[in-house]
Amino acid sequence: MNYAIEIKDLTVYYNNTCALSGINLTVAKNDFLAIIGPNGGGKSTLVKSVLGIVKPQNGEIKIFGQRPEKYTVPIGYVPQFSHSIHDFPIMVIDVILTGRLQRGTGLFHRYSKKDYEIAENMLDKLNITHLKDRQISELSGGQFQKVMILRALATEPELLLLDEPTANIDNDSKTQIYEFLKEINRSVTIILITHDTAAISSYVKNVACLNKKLFYHGEIELDNDIIQKTFGCPVDLIAHGVPHRVLKNHGE
């Protein structure tokens, strides 16, 4: 069977704090998986373990059947928004070009003509060619996120991981981004961390609910019980266009 990701018994601790415990998760090729869960529930940790940024205490991760060290195709990664990155003095085109860098980039490296072509094509895909020579600090939140997504895609990945790409951006940009992700999902497996329930109902194929443990993984028919277990309290969730409005009191 062709899996994009196979995770077995993954456990991650930060010092003595447990972030993830006993995660078993398989993601099919060309899946569009949303990971939901409360803050501090280990969503980013899971993604960072797959990327190899966080070293797990226990468990095994395979990407397209290979161990992360052996898997040499770049993984597309869109990190959570950070102010220190947004303030950096760099132009849009140069940000996207960094996606063309690789391990073993030698002395006096210069980007090739092909790198420039790929980067400019990327700008075209989200209609932001006019922003090419702009400083990223001048961009709006939505424009900035588009640049970060294009940088990730400039690596020509088979797997794209996004950490809350649409937090705090306007609805138009959101729709544009999700439509674009849907389009590239034909060739790229996507894993998306999000709190955006509207996006889950209309763009995503599968959902994983994460709060230290994996509480659910499958299609988007979520019932209250699973939500209750994941978040520890009732939450509003719209699934498949049917509102599951939960108005119970908090159990604490």
Partner 1 sequence: MLKALFEYNFLQNAFYCSILISIVCGIIGTVIILKKLAMMSGGIAHTSFGGVGLGYFLGIEPIIGAFIFAVAAAIGIGYIGKKSHRNSDIATGIFWSAGMASGILFISFTPGYPPDMSSYLFGDILTVSKTDLLLTLILDAIVVFFIIAFYNCFRAYLFDDEFAAVLKINVNLINNILHVIIALSIVILIRAVGIVLVLALLTAPAAIAKLFSGNLKIIMLLSILISLLLCFAGLWISYQFNIASGAAIALLSSLLYFAAHIFKKILKLKTGREIQNQGSRL
Question: Given the rule CB under 8 A, which residues bind partner 1?
Answer: 14-15, 51-53, 72, 74-75, 77, 79, 84-85, 88-91, 94-95, 97-99, 101-103, 105, 107-111, 135, 137, 151, 155
Given the DSSP bridges, would you call strands 76-78 and 242-244 parallel, antiparallel or unpaired? unpaired
The least distance separating partner 1 from the CB of residue 98, rounded to whole angstroms, comes to 4
Tokens found for residue 216:
């659910």
Q: Which is nearer to partner 1, 14 or 221 (CB)?
A: 14
Tokens found for residue 33:
């998986």
Q: Which is nearer to partner 1, 79 or 203 (CB)?
A: 79
The residue to which tokens 């601790």 are assigned: 13
The least distance separating partner 1 from the CB of residue 214, rounded to whole angstroms, comes to 23
The least distance separating partner 1 from the CB of residue 51, rounded to whole angstroms, comes to 5
The least distance separating partner 1 from the CB of residue 223, rounded to whole angstroms, comes to 36
Q: Which is nearer to partner 1, 88 or 243 (CB)?
A: 88
* CB 102, CB 79: distance < 8 Å: no
Q: Which is nearer to partner 1, 19 or 237 (CB)?
A: 19
The least distance separating partner 1 from the CB of residue 128, rounded to whole angstroms, comes to 18
Q: Which of 24, 14, 27, 34 is nearest to 238 (CA)?
A: 34
156 SS3 class: coil
The least distance separating partner 1 from the CB of residue 75, rounded to whole angstroms, comes to 6
In single-letter form, the type of residue at position 67 comes to: R
Separation between Cα atoms, residue 184 and residue 19, nearest integer Å: 31
Q: Which is nearer to partner 1, 103 or 245 (CB)?
A: 103
Q: Which is nearer to partner 1, 152 or 200 (CB)?
A: 152
Q: What is the DSSP letter of 202?
A: H
Q: How far is CA 173 from the centre of its chain?
A: 17
DSSP string, 46-97: HHHHHHTSS--SEEEEEETTB-TTT--SPPEEEPPP-HHHHTSS-BHHHHHH
